[in-house]
Amino acid sequence: MQDLLALEAPDEGISYQFTRYDEAPLPADKLAFGSPERYSVTSQQLHWVKNPDDSYSLTVDGLYESMSGSSPWYVIPDPETGPLQAMSGATIRDRRRQIDVSVSRRGDRYTHTGALGYSSEDDYEAVYGSYAGQKESTDALNTVTWGASYSHDVIEPTDAELYGRVQRVTKQRFSASAGYARIINPDSVIQTGIVLTQLSGYLSDPYKLVWVDGLVVNDSRPDRRFTWAWTTRFRQYLERSRAALHLDGRYFGDDWGIRSLTLDMAWRQPAGEDWEVAPGIRYYTQVAPDFYGPVFDHVPIDGFWSSDYRLATYGAVSYRLNAVLRKETWSLSLFAEYYDSKTGLALFGTPRDTPALVDFWRFTARLTIDL
């Protein structure tokens, strides 16, 4: 889904973005042991675009991210209070460094973009590449897009021997996409597209444990996964108020049994000559796979189990506000988001008690300079 902060990139220029992400502490009545303090993440991003000539453009993106806090570990059954969450200690420290380089070639009606990227963390490394194509109709009212990407990831968990984790595993991801956009009239645009993804390799979480028939064992998920996601976006400009209405919808499914629906609405409103404000709201609902459960009283026959809260049946609402100051050669964007998740917000499925569902705040500032 397109983010409220996704600004139009300059033809040539550089932008710097700072983001702070803070998860709310786990409530005391849901904590079994460990630290209730959850993740805090600080990220810094640089985006640079250069056009050597009218046909080519070069883009370089860099990211540095640091995170700390505690993470949900496994769930413990309690006959009196219900499931309680065991947390890791508040000593988790990690850093992520990422660089992406892409080259685009523009023709009269075609655009082709190739990209390569590398990302590394203390226990994770990924190398990936992608291709994207675009073709406009002769009347410029219709646009067809397509693309493909591949990623090879290496996971080397920290303290593997101490905690009985896997020492070195890999996974692969291949995605293909296709899309279509139509300018309905001078004030309306619609876009729709689908993304198909095949994952293989180690798809479990090496840092998660699960309570299974009285024993605490490692998280276990299938080693293959096929996903599909269909997204549709509609934009309507309202001349009388000089505002734009953004409506997005996304349906996601996979062969694990996960189903999700995202509905997104934003209103972009000019405020004075230089400012634009954009309040937005997003609703998300998800149905869990068959192998999810807070705890397992019996050993599943297929050998798959996970109590990772991110797989649970739940719903979430996020409230967002973006303010943009645009000048002739630069712009400043300020963005805030509050995310609230609950099992009771789920639209489909049968929610189960999931003590680790997360709420968070996110703040972002971005400065863009045209060169």
**DSSP structure string for 314-344:** EEEEEEEEEEEEE-SSEEEEEEEEEEEEEGG
- Bridge pairing between strands 330-342 and 110-121: unpaired
Name the nearest CA neighbour of 314 among 281, 292, 338, 291. 292
Average pLDDT of the residues of the chain: 93
Instruction: Determine how many CB atoms are found less than 10 A away from the CB of residue 297.
Output: 10
CA angle 43, 23, 78 (to 5 degrees): 145
Residue 288, helix vs strand vs coil: coil
> From CA 12, how far away is CA 59, in angstroms rounded?
9
Domain segments of the chain as ranges? 104-357
Beta bridge partners of 251: 230, 261
CATH 2.40.170.20 fits 104-357, yes or no: yes
**Cα separation of 20 and 3, whole Å?**
16
CA-to-CA distance for 290 and 305, rounded, in angstroms?
Answer: 9
Residue 33 has pLDDT above 50, yes or no: yes
Q: What is the pLDDT of residue 164?
A: 83
Q: Tokens in use for 269? A: 């409103």
Asked if pLDDT for residue 9 goes beyond 70, the answer is: no
Average pLDDT over residues 207-231: 96
What pLDDT band is residue 239 in, cutting at 50, 70 and 90?
very high
Has residue 4 got a pLDDT over 50?
no
Contact criterion met (CB below 8 Å) for 191 and 181: yes
Of 263, 304, 261, 289, the residue nearest 350 (C-alpha) = 289
Reply yes or no on whether the pLDDT at 192 is more than 60: yes
The 10s digit of each residue's pLDDT in 292-345 is 999 999 999 999 999 999 999 999 999 999 999 999 999 999 999 999 999 999
Distance CA 60, CA 68 (A): 27
Q: What is the pTM of this model?
A: 0.93
Chain segment 252-300, per-residue pLDDT in tens: 999 999 999 999 999 999 998 899 999 999 999 999 999 999 999 999 9
Q: How far is CA 344 from CA 74, 288, 304, 305, in A?
A: 22, 14, 26, 23
List alpha helices for 113-232, DSSP H: 160-163
End-to-end CA, the chain: 29
On whether the CB atoms of residues 252 and 266 are closer than 8 A, the answer is no
pLDDT digits (tens, 9 = 90+) for 144-170: 999 999 999 999 988 878 778 899 999
CA dihedral 102, 253, 198, 105 (to 10 degrees): -20
User: What is the DSSP code (8-state) at residue 28?
Assistant: G
Q: Among 98, 131, 127, 97, which Cα is nearest to 115's?
A: 131
